[in-house]
Structure 1
Amino acid sequence: MPKIVDHDQRKVHIAEATWKVIVENGLEKATVRKVAATAGLSVGSLRHYFSTQSELLQFSMKLVTERVTQRIQSSHYKGDRVDIAIQALGEMLPLDEERKIEMEVWFVFSSKTLVDKKLKQLSEATFEEMHNGLINIMQFLQKGNLLKPGLDEKLEISRLHAIIDGMALHHLLHPDKLTYEKMIDTLTYHLKSIVERGNES
Structure 2
Amino acid sequence: MPKQIKKIQQVDVQQFDFQIFYKNLARVSGKDYILLDPDPKKLFKKIRKSCEMIKAAGGLVKNAKDNYLFIFRNKKWDLPKGKVEKDEKMKEAALREVEEECGVKIFTNDEKLCKTYHVYQLDNRLVLKKTNWYSMTVKGEPKLIPQKEEGITKAGWLSKLELSPVLKNTYPSIVQVLEAGGLLADNIVVKPVLAAIKKV
Asked whether the two chains share a fold, i.e. TM above 0.5, the reply is no
Larger radius of gyration: 1
Q: Classify the TM-score, shorter chain.
A: under 0.3
TM-score, normalisation: structure 2 = 0.24
TM-score, normalisation: structure 1 = 0.24
